[in-house]
């Protein structure tokens, strides 16, 4: 069939018809090894500690992999990197799509890199599972950072539950820190539970807001505001400046109604423009002051301890659930019991007890 773009209105463009299936492949290519052999855990660790970005990226790919061979290497690498991790500022950045996260991360990132050191930008994107591709952490969205030698940008891992995706990002933080990245940004869309996951792995949580929509306080869940250590109102430029200031005042008064957070730090509200690069040092100055404050009062270490504990239980939860729900007999039994519950032949509790009793009777209580 003639391709529509071969119409004469598209001068200078011809589209050839494609070939359904090439008859053969180049014999030279067919004989070549397709994949590079997997590096050993020792080689990966050595590369990571040297700051070798290729080795870091390969290790992160193993962390994200679902293959048990890859996971075994990944876990060994993480364990060996752990003593070299922890020395970074972990900053979570959230905001609804269009709030200006990528524009802001680009300029905040450059600002941080000017002060020396390195920056890793990671992401947790709950939608990536559905879309099979991540919208966050995409290099093309951070034009300046993506070509900076001190920046490592990694999109959200895409497989598994939110808990699983978040755990992989947390493990990636360990690897990045061991590779000398002393600033870690974790980006997420401010629309759902992913903030809780990000909050449980960062030291500072920045909420990017917009002004000028007339309903500044709507659309953000109270819980997200409660988690924020700083709220910044973006796009404070041109004729939006006054609206941004008004939103700033509204957020400040809304925050006064919240109890003092456990850090003892009162979240600040600032305005800035990511696009025109206005107010960036001021936002960073706030973050510097926060770190000085929580390191002084001991909250920094307490929060990291709490997070380590949280991830231990979170991982146990995740493993128990996936082992239980992926057991073929359990799957079959659940289907059967569910129908009986719906037919009112047994109660929900009896059904649950029966399935669990069966599962434990198989010797699954010793994991
Ligand atoms: P994200 O979806 O949160 O990552 O948002 P983006 O960074 O992609 O920004 C969404 C849109 O807002 C883009 O068209 C940006 O150019 C624009 N934008 C971002 N920051 C600013 C700003 O400070 N001022 C103005 N006027 N526009 C901005």
Q: Quick one: how many helices (H) and strands (E) in the chain? A: 15, 7
Top-confidence range, 49-53, 236-240, 256-260: 49-53
The chain-wide mean pLDDT, for the chain, equals 85
pLDDT at position 333 is 95
Q: How high is the pLDDT of residue 288?
A: 96
Among 97, 103, 241, the mutation site with the greatest number of ligand 1 atoms within 8 A of its Cβ is: 103
Categorize the per-residue pLDDT at 32 as very low, low, confident or very high, splitting at 50, 70 and 90.
low
| Residue of 98, 124, 139 with the most ligand 1 atoms within 8 Å of its CB, for mutation | 98
Q: For residue 255, which of 246, 244, 268, 242 has the smallest C-alpha distance? A: 268
Across the range 21-42, mean pLDDT stands at 71
Terminal-to-terminal C-alpha distance of the chain: 60
Domains in the chain (CATH in brackets) are 37-83 (1.20.5.170), 85-299 (3.40.50.300), 313-361 (no CATH)
Ligand 1: does its nearest atom lie under 6 Å from the Cβ of 327? no
Among the ranges given (3-7, 226-230, 236-240, 293-297), the one the predictor scored with the smallest mean pLDDT: 3-7
- For residue range 187-228, list pLDDT tens digits in order: 987 666 777 888 889 999 999 998 865 454 555 666 788 889
* Residue 69 near residue 81, CB atoms below 8 Å: no
Question: Percentage of residues in the chain with pLDDT exceeding 90?
Answer: 55
Nearest alpha carbon, ligand 1 atom 10? 98
CB-based contacts of 44: which residues, under 8 Å, 6+ apart? 55, 58, 59, 62, 73, 77
Ligand 1 pocket member 244 (CB < 6 A): no
Q: What is the pLDDT of residues 250-268, one digit of tens each?
A: 889 888 888 889 999 999 9
Out of 59-68, 71-80, 162-171, 297-306, least confident range: 162-171
Ligand 1 near 237 CB (within 6 A):
yes
* Structure token digits, residue 211: 């002004």
Task: Check residue 130 and give its pLDDT.
Answer: 47
Cβ of residue 121 lying under 6 Å from some atom of ligand 1: no
Asked if residue 214 has its Cβ within 6 Å of ligand 1, the reply is: no
Whole-prediction pTM: 0.82
Q: Which residue's CA lies nearest to atom 24 of ligand 1?
A: 235
Q: Tokens representing 56?
A: 């870091």
* SS3 track for 271-298: ECECCCCECHHHHHHHHHHHHHHHHHHC
């Amino acid at each position: 069939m003639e391709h529509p773009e071969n119409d004469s209105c598209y001068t200078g463009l011809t589209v050839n018809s494609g070939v359904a299936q090439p008859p053969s492949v180049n014999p030279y290519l067919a004989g070549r090894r397709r994949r590079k052999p997997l590096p050993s855990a020792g080689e990966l660790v050595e590369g990571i500690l040297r700051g070798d970005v290729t080795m870091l990226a390969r290790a992160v790919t193993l962390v994200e992999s679902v293959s048990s061979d890859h996971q075994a290497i990944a876990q060994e690498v993480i364990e060996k990197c752990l003593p070299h991790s922890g020395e970074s500022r972990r900053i979570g950045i959230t905001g609804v799509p269009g709030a200006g996260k990528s524009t802001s991360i680009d300029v905040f990132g450059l600002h941080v890199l000017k002060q020396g050191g390195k920056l890793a930008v990671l992401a947790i994107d709950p939608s990536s599972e559905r879309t099979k591709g991540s919208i966050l952490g995409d290099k093309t969205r951070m034009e300046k950072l993506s070509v900076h030698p001190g920046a490592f940008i990694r999109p959200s891992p895409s497989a598994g539950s939110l808990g699983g995706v978040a755990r992989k990002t947390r493990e990636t933080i360990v690897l990045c820190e061991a590779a000398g990245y002393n600033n870690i940004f974790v980006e997420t869309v401010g629309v759902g539970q992913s903030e809780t996951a990000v909050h449980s792995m960062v030291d500072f949580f920045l909420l990017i807001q917009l002004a000028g929509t007339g309903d500044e306080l709507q659309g953000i869940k109270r819980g997200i505001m409660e988690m924020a250590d700083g709220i910044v109102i973006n796009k404070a430029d041109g004729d939006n400046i006054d609206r941004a200031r008004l939103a700033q005042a509204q957020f400040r008064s809304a925050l006064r109604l919240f109890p003092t957070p456990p850090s003892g730090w009162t979240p600040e509200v600032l305005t800035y423009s990511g696009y025109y690069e206005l107010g960036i040092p001021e936002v960073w100055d706030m973050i510097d002051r926060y770190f000085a404050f929580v390191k002084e009062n001991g909250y920094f270490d307490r929060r990291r301890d709490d997070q380590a504990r949280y991830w231990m239980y979170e991982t146990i939860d995740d493993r128990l659930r996936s082992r239980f729900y992926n057991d073929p007999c359990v799957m079959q039994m659940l289907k059967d019991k569910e129908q009986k519950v719906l037919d009112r032949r047994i109660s929900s509790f009896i059904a649950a007890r029966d399935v669990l009793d069966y599962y434990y009777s198989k010797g699954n209580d010793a994991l």
